[in-house]
Structure 1
Amino acid sequence: MSKPGAKKRLLLAVITVLGANAFILGNVWLNRSVVIAELTLSERELSLPYHWGRVKDDSSLRLNLAWTTPWFTPNEDKWHYLYRQQQRILTLQPPQFASFRFGSCTEGYQRQQRSGWVLLEFNGQSYQDYLKQAEQYYSALQQRLAAEAVAELNAGLVQDRLREATKRRQEQLEHAEEQWRVAREEVTRLFVIDAAADRNLLQQTLANHSGPKASQLLIVPADIQLSYTWCQNDKAAKQPEVLVNRLAVESLYVAKPYAQRLPIDTDRQQKIRFQAQVRYGRFAEPWLSALTLSGTEP
């Protein structure tokens, strides 16, 4: 015969589990009861996990949000290395930077992480600026390589060296052309453009935007860290920079009916292209409301 104490502990454990589930489901319902924004993202902003389709018994799927911050205006050499990377450094206005109340550099920048808010922009001015940078880099490289070719011809280089130089220029140009194509067709269009510990500061920024693109802006929670450059011991003027470590929600659960629509390509020979309707609710938490393969009917 079991002891009364054991039954009580079992009952308490069941109540705790049920209570936790009820709390979670209640928060989900409250979040989804109000839609504050809806974005139409694609495989450019929502990446499939690397193992998708490789584990036969695993039918679960989460799509990871791909985002970046506005790019520095790089010179030609830096662009060569930066064009595919997702940045996390963000330069802020003094009021936004001050709102985090970072400590002194003696504490180290690694330990100075704060909970805060960021302003997300989808397919807006930051992405257009990036496209412009990609095109300018491609055009500038074309002009420089053309000038080099003329100079080498005038210098009377021997045929072997001239062929080598021509081949090198052609490879550089093809690489730059591929970078421009990637900028137009593949990189994420989701940018973090501002951050603050005080949400009201971002609300003021958001209020200054109007027009059709205003609906593509939203405020979401994130973890913010002091930039390592702030504590560098140099004589240069310090930029109020932060490192956006992560968004509070960076992956979206894909329900089985939606996941079944995505073809499984274990060899990763083809890019799976799709469109996804992502809604943000009352607590700025996103969820997937629709998913279709590109070129197919909903």
Structure 2
Amino acid sequence: MKKSLLIGLVILIGSNAIALSGVAYNRIGVVTSELTLTERELGLPYNSGMNKENSGILLGMNWRTATRVENAYNGYNSHEAEVTQAQLLALGFEVPDNEYYGAQSRQLYWALEFDGALHTAEITKAELRYQAALETYTQQPNENNLRLKDDSLVSLKKEKLTNSRLFFVKAALDYESLAAEFSGQDNMLFVKGLAKPYYNVNNNSYRLLLRELLVSNIMVPLEYSEDLSGLSRLGYQDITAPRYTVDIKWGSRLEPWITNVTNKQLGSE
């Protein structure tokens, strides 16, 4: 019994040591990305506001893909990207077809753009959709067109104030190629994520289903937890300016850690 406990203790200590060494290595190496994100990109957990004083807070990464101009109702979090057959092959996938459903997810390196041209384009698309809905309602003032006008106005306000500004741009087999391609762009984030391909029989196109980030939640250090204590997660209908900012670095393992949190309502760090 004592021998089993001793073995278990040794395994636990060894596992913790390996984990801590990985964290240390990530932070000792080169900083691959450094951004100041807000509540738009880092959401509070659903049980926020009920955290005990010394309990940790996990912030969830909110990222997205660009919507299609022709589709006003393209899912905000569709998390898929159109790709060519050649691009899928370059990512190491077998090319799927309409009878191929068993593609396995694989780890890829992702490039994400923060508060750049893709978000500016989303605001423009939202404005055009609202103007089109407003014109339609003006010409045909019925209940359905009123709803479409109101919904598109809400979407425009959300795009300007609450929607995430962190957009998927590209996937690759290695970090180095992405870093070289986007060199000099300080609003780029490089992370690891899982993705799988599929074939869309409706329009005969290939798509890359972006499953998840390998690190999708970030733990707030205890010294910064107080800045977020008492804040509850915003609801879907809430349209309000971000209440906090978070300074984050990503290290050599492309894993994040928080260096500062600012509660904008308190106006202090």
Say yes or no: does 1:194 pair with 2:201.
Answer: no
- Cα deviation code 1:219-273 (max 9, x no counterpart): 211101113xx153x6x4x333200000110000012221222242569688671
Q: Report the residue type matching 2:224 in the other structure.
A: Y
Say yes or no: does 1:109 pair with 2:101.
Answer: yes
Contact kept? 1:114, 1:223, Cα under 8 Å? yes
Task: State which of 235, 252, 258 in structure 2 corresponds to 1:282.
Answer: 252
What SS class does the counterpart of residue 14 from structure 2 fall into? helix
Distance 2:120 2:114 in 1: 11
Say yes or no: does 1:223 pair with 2:182.
Answer: no
Aligned partner of 1:143 in structure 2 is 135
Aligned partner of 2:205 in structure 1 is 239
Q: Report the residue type matching 1:220 in the other structure.
A: V
Distance 1:37 1:265 in 2: 27
- Cα deviation code 1:194-217 (max 9, x no counterpart): 11234454345324xx4xxx0111
Is 85-94 or 97-106 further displaced after alignment? 97-106
Distance 2:21 2:233 in 1: 41
Q: Report the residue type matching 2:92 in the other structure.
A: F
- Cα deviation code 1:121-178 (max 9, x no counterpart): 11111111111100111122222222335xxxxxxxxxxxxxxx3x655444333222
- Cα deviation code 1:76-125 (max 9, x no counterpart): xxx2x447x21211123554321222254487435421111111111111
Distance 2:145 2:41 in 1: 33
What SS class does the counterpart of residue 227 from structure 2 fall into? coil
Distance 2:257 2:6 in 1: 34
What SS class does the counterpart of residue 90 from structure 1 fall into? strand
Q: Report the residue type matching 1:14 in the other structure.
A: L
Cα 1:231–1:87, aligned 2, differ >3 Å: closer, same or farther? closer
Cα 1:205–1:95, aligned 2, differ >3 Å: closer, same or farther? farther
Aligned partner of 2:222 in structure 1 is 256
Matches within 5 A, 1:204-223: 204-207=180-183, 210=184, 214-223=185-194
- Post-superposition offset of 1:10: 3.5
What SS class does the counterpart of residue 130 from structure 1 fall into? helix
Matches within 5 A, 1:94-173: 94-98=85-89, 99-102=91-94, 104-105=96-97, 108-109=100-101, 111-148=103-140, 165=142, 169-173=145-149
What SS class does the counterpart of residue 154 from structure 2 fall into? helix
Distance 1:57 1:289 in 2: 20
Aligned partner of 1:91 in structure 2 is 82
- Post-superposition offset of 1:70: 1.6
What SS class does the counterpart of residue 35 from structure 1 fall into? coil
Distance 1:46 1:110 in 2: 33
Cα 1:278–1:265, aligned 2, differ >3 Å: closer, same or farther? closer
Structure whose CA Rg is larger = 1
Q: Report the residue type matching 1:175 in the other structure.
A: D
Aligned partner of 1:294 in structure 2 is 264
Task: State which of 37, 62, 72 in structure 1 corresponds to 2:68.
Answer: 72
- Post-superposition offset of 1:28: 0.4
If each structure's strand is expressed as a fraction of its own residues, which one has the higher value?
Answer: 2
Q: Report the residue type matching 1:36 in the other structure.
A: T
Contact kept? 2:43, 2:61, Cα under 8 Å? yes
Q: Which runs of 5+ in 2 are unaligned?
A: none
Q: Which runs of 5+ in 1 are unaligned?
A: 1-5, 150-164
Task: State which of 7, 12, 17 in structure 1 corresponds to 2:12.
Answer: 17
Aligned partner of 2:59 in structure 1 is 63
Contact kept? 2:107, 2:193, Cα under 8 Å? yes
* Percent identical: 25
Distance 2:93 2:83 in 1: 13
Distance 2:227 2:167 in 1: 28
